Structure 1
Amino acid sequence: MSKRIGITILLSLIGLTLLLTPLQAKRSQDIYYQDQVAVLMYHHIHDTDTSSSTITSKLFQDQLQFLLSKGYHFISLNEFKQYLAGATVPANAVLVTFDDGYQSFYTGAYPILKSLRVPAVNFVITTDLANPMGSYIPSMSKDQIREMTHATNFIDIGCHTDNLHHKLPNGQAALVGRLDGEGGDAYKQRVLKDTQACVGKLAGLTDAPLDVMAYPYGITSPEATELIQQAGIRYAFTISPEMATRSADHLLIPRINAGSPGITPELLDRSIQRRVRAQPGSAPLRVDAAAAAAQLGGSASAEGGVLRLRLGQEAFTLQVNATTATRGSSRVKLRQPVLREHGQVTIALDDLSALIGQPLVYTPATGTVAVRVAPSVK
């Protein structure tokens, strides 16, 4: 039976449906970085408006298609949270974020994201929900937000404050600055109430937790960060142009700007790769082959130096200490050898993923391996 049929049976066993675009199926296999995430920042997608933070829908689509063709893997907000908690992400992982909750996200970006199955999160200024067309740049309505978050499993929303996205007369960002004559307690109450109002106004527009925020202008202070955390925010994004790593402060997550008109697809690719964090001596993640096979709906047996895996209708034979596997009469090249360690036969997670032809995620908290949930329209 062909590999395509075998994988279809495997997915039915574990109850997942994978939807891949033709472009995604042709991704490069190059690995530029592992165990870190390029968080991209956008604002406004529009074909006639112009500004330093506005790009056309064509440039946006060209950027995403170029990154897909180069082998980047777009992840969801939930996958990013799981990564920060210890789970794995694919090599070349990217998270797409938008600030401000502009209507252009719904009209310009969303159709492209949906067609390419690329996840994204939009940080909304919730005071604009009362009169979406009254803001300087039209904002999304509650119905538009609700439609996107409920029609897909890959569009998320978060806070960009309720009514603190502006500068005070003294030039300071409203989130961190003090009003004239404002004391410490009054400032704390202002930030706490604003954050709580933002979360409250987004409640009901999504089924996902509302615990993420992007700082207006990327500006925060230790006190402001502590206050939004008290209000229930667990993850907050800055505009520091670096790669996001698991060890970074979850309330000071960096982002790389992708939403300026001069950022071509090639320039964005180079911008990401210039910021990759060095990983000297990093070893590939290995998993117990028998346990992983069982968790994926298959089975494994080891006898002597031979490991036999069955996943769906596919059967693989692997030799301990070898970097090849056999499937029927064909041979499959592995990146890392199968090893016997502490009484277990282990395989590199990337190699197991390549064998079954599907991206996998490992969660150390539970010790489980699963196929990544594919972006899908409900």
Structure 2
Amino acid sequence: MNLAIKDIRAGLFRFTLTCVGIGLMLMTSLAMTGLYQGIVADALSIIDHAHADLWVIEAGTEGPFAESSLIDRSVLSRSLALQDVATARQFTLQSERFSVHGKTVRASLVGLDYPTDTGSTIPLSAGRHLRAGRNEAIADQSTGLHTGDTLRLGTTDLTVVGVAKNYQDYNGNPMVAVSVNDALDIQAHRPEESVYISRDTGRVQVPSKTANIAAVLLTLVPGANLQQVQQQINRWGDVIALTSEQEREVFLYGRLERLRGQIVLFTAILLVVTAVVIAVTLYTMTLEKLHEIALLKLIGARNRVIISMILQQSIALGALGYTMAAVLIPVVSPFFPRRLVLTLNDYLLFAVIVLLLCIVGALLGIRRAMQVEAREVLS
């Protein structure tokens, strides 16, 4: 006869409600973890998809993903003149707002240096990559755009030739990839009213195409000394070079550092509350059966039998709650405004954490059970 099962059956309703509560808290903890990893995956997707060895950016900045970076387009030819550079690509990144089927969409506009970069690393769900240096675009599916749609930005008409999946920035905004020439035209566009006002007031209109790319992406020849090329570029003075790994670190430990701290703290609080709920539930269940525990001790039951009963109940609470959380996460994740990214290692890590919480939560009930004397059965 399993004493833990018998005791659970006696208080099945309360045990079930506790399992549901634990399951919801664990589901929230898993969701917070998946949310952060989804934000990181979206944020780093541009860097990862670029497959660049070096990012040449404005001196004194940390790159286009951390702050504004504007460099002269002549940096492209200077970079190509370096001995160990195989390819160099212009790159732009800017925020745009436009209307799609009557709905206002804010997106990040990425400029690709066609034909060197056709966006071939962008994960498409429909359509194709860029085949022309003008008037073509690849848009994330969350924009509501479809292949064949026409998108007008400024005075530039873009035909959507590809639709991507999970092509978003760290803010969760969809991204739209166009050729760098189109991106510069869109960036330089000024409303007619602004032009008229500038003329009427006599203000000088400064051309905006001389220093408006965000970075130059370099791919080195096989066997090239990465640090040596980086040092050469850094000596130019107006720009600096960062490796892809350095650009990732700047983003993760710069812009996302506070967000990560908030999510870790919130997740830790939820897990502590889960442990407290398990501890209080088991302690209450132990208090209700002190007479039975005393009777067990009177008939010669060893302490390990009582400890095993409480531990089994605790683990049953955690296991059922964790199972509920693991089953519900895939069901509710489509309703989240951001993508959730959870791997098998995340589920295994949470399983270990839940097991530890169950053991810690059972200690309070075990301590009270060990204080029971066999003679108390007569009281």
**TM-score, normalising length from structure 1?**
0.24
Instruction: Please identify the structure whose Cα radius of gyration is greater.
Output: 2
Structure showing greater relative contact order (alpha-carbon pairs closer than 8 Å, 6 or more residues apart)? 2
Higher helix share: 2
**TM-score, normalising length from structure 2?**
0.24
